[in-house]
Structure 1
Amino acid sequence: MSKIAAAEPHHAIARPAFIAGLSIAIAGAVLFSTKAIVAKLLYRYQLDAVTVIAFRMLFSLPVFAAVAFWQMRTEAPLSAADRWRLVGLGLIGYYVSSFLDFLGLQYITVGLERLILFLTPTFVLLITALFLKRHIGRWEWMALALSYCGIVLVFVHDLGEGQGDTATGSLLVLGSAVCYAIYLLGSGELVRRIGSLRLVSYAMCVSSVACIAQFFVLRPAALLIQPVEVYGLSLVNGVFCTILPVFMTMAAVQRIGAATASQAGMVGPVSTLFLGAWILGEPITAVQLGGTGLVFAGIYLLSKKK
């Protein structure tokens, strides 16, 4: 995506093209959020996070490897320093972050999980303030306060409902969000040099290899033999909840810009909340809706400020 395209104002985009880009962004956000639903369904087959994430990557790795190979053939070689940066980013952003997320999903509702992950922009802000000495303005503090009040509200509600080990699951998913925030901060300069497609395909290959290797180190190979339903759900997880959202988000950013595509992603937690109720039978309460509204308000304020 060129700098001119990224900076193009919304009113300069033809309405049909804008609607198409917005639709792609929304669909990508919904599909990506659905991975929590699929993971919960897989856990019903007595699988653990190590196995679920390994199956996910087994189905998605061929596509990302093909894209990475194509990029290697068409683009200039990377420097040794950039290769090591990509390895580090792939491990922290897509391996550690994803693994902590899937671990946390064993303990908490999909609605709470998605809300915690939705706080990633606030963690980016806090990390830059703490370590890069960036000043946080009044509106940004207000956005942070609203977001975290919403999370506390939903957390206390789920804790009172006794839905699994809510504290453990929330801390794991919180760690996932922090890891992804670190990935976003670390990838900023690199993505400008090598492009988003190259960065994501390489980083996902690193993550996939790490997840699959982890499975063979920690689990017997016999666990690869599973009911056909597990393969079907894992295929959905790998293709529809991993591959398609990645490329759909890229396409949306190219069409409508990163800011609008990011705001369209707000539909993700809402879709997860209602899909969790419909497919998993997780209840939707007024407290959850109120907490979700507070988080949305905070993230919206933060995005408008940026």
Structure 2
Amino acid sequence: MNRTLGIVSVLLAASLYGFVNTIVKLAYADGFEFPELTISQYVYGTIGLIILILATRSFGRVTLRDYLKLLAVGGFGLGGTSLALYKSLAYVPTSVSLVMLFQFTWIGLLIEMLVLKRKIHRNEWLAVGIILAGTLLVLQITGIDSETINAPGLIFGFIAAICYSIFLIGASMLPETIPQFYKNGLMVSGTLVLLFIGFAVTTPIVEINPFGAVLKWGLLLGILAQLLPPVLFTYGAPKIGGTLTSILSSVELPVGIIASNLILGEQVVLVQWIGMLLILAGIVVSQVRQGEAGKA
């Protein structure tokens, strides 16, 4: 049951993340800038988590070592992903940013293999291959205008993929002894402080006011990117492991494509539906391997 709940939590978290790119594009079109969107979402995410902590009295003892782990996963993983992805979206189309972000499917495996010394099974590599093939079909790589691709957009997108891999794997290694909401509150609020200090160096405070006109976008992004997904990830990831968390997170792409179709009116053609089915097939392949391992 715990494993099933973990899988459902990760799938739901990734699905919520699927809406984020579309919302960021809408916010950019509404005239808002990168710093205010980033800070505002962390402010409202932190406020939401504080409310949950107080309502559930989810307090606990945290050692300095555990807090540093939370800050690393939140700051480098969660915060780094937001910073790099939103910056990438400012330079290139959503599809190009997604192509780069979804390199986390193999980056995560490399991290586990080279850094954590975990043996990667053949079905896991097969699952990643199927997912990447589906990704290319969904994003219709051959149809992307080369003139819209530039180095900064690609670099920031790839950095987002690395940070996302760190977050997914790091979330699976966080201590489960710390109450859930308290754990996420420390992680997101710590990241907010780091981001605020970083932006304050280059951006006037008045331009990153989260309680001004940006409120509706900050609130929406705060819920979809900083409140619910981190809670669901840090609940589910320790129950299923870093590799499966990375693979299941691929559901973010088809959800993102469907969201862009419904909200932005972007057309979804047959080849993209085929790609989405391949991504789901890749997830099934990874599950077959995991199920067999559980019986051994």
TM-score by length of 1: 0.74
State yes or no: 1:130 paired with 2:126.
Answer: no
| 1-structure distance, mates of 2:112, 2:10 | 27
State yes or no: 1:80 paired with 2:48.
Answer: no
Q: Which residue does 2:285 correspond to in 1?
A: 301
Query: Higher mean Cα deviation, 165-174 or 179-188?
Result: 165-174
Matches within 5 A, 1:1-306: 5-7=1-3, 28-67=13-52, 74-76=59-61, 78-110=62-94, 113-114=97-98, 117=101, 120-153=104-137, 154=139, 156-159=141-144, 161-162=145-146, 164-165=148-149, 168-224=152-208, 230-247=214-231, 253=236, 267-306=251-290
Q: Is the 8 A contact 1:96 1:176 kept in 2?
A: yes
Amino acid at match of 1:79: T
Q: Once the 2 structures are TM-superposed, how far is the Cα of residue 100 of structure 1 from its aligned partner?
A: 0.9
Q: Which residue does 1:15 correspond to in 2?
A: none
Q: Does the C-alpha gap of structure 1 residues 69 and 177 become closer, same or farther in structure 2, counting only changes over 3 Å?
A: farther
Q: Once the 2 structures are TM-superposed, how far is the Cα of residue 56 of structure 1 from its aligned partner?
A: 1.2
| 1-structure distance, mates of 2:117, 2:261 | 42
Q: Give the total of aligned pairs.
A: 285
Unpaired segments of 5 or more residues in structure 1? 11-17
Q: Does the C-alpha gap of structure 1 residues 120 and 89 become closer, same or farther in structure 2, counting only changes over 3 Å?
A: same
Q: Once the 2 structures are TM-superposed, how far is the Cα of residue 216 of structure 1 from its aligned partner?
A: 2.3
Q: Is the 8 A contact 1:51 1:215 kept in 2?
A: no
Unpaired segments of 5 or more residues in structure 2? 291-296
TM-score by length of 2: 0.76
Q: Does the C-alpha gap of structure 1 residues 266 and 134 become closer, same or farther in structure 2, counting only changes over 3 Å?
A: closer
Amino acid at match of 1:205: S
Amino acid at match of 2:78: Y
Amino acid at match of 1:271: V
DSSP 3-state at the match of 2:254: helix
Q: Does the C-alpha gap of structure 1 residues 179 and 235 become closer, same or farther in structure 2, counting only changes over 3 Å?
A: same
Amino acid at match of 1:97: T
Identity, in percent, stands at 21
| 1-structure distance, mates of 2:100, 2:287 | 17
What RMSD over aligned residues (CA atoms) do the two structures have, in Å? Answer: 3.8
Query: Higher mean Cα deviation, 97-106 or 182-191?
Result: 182-191
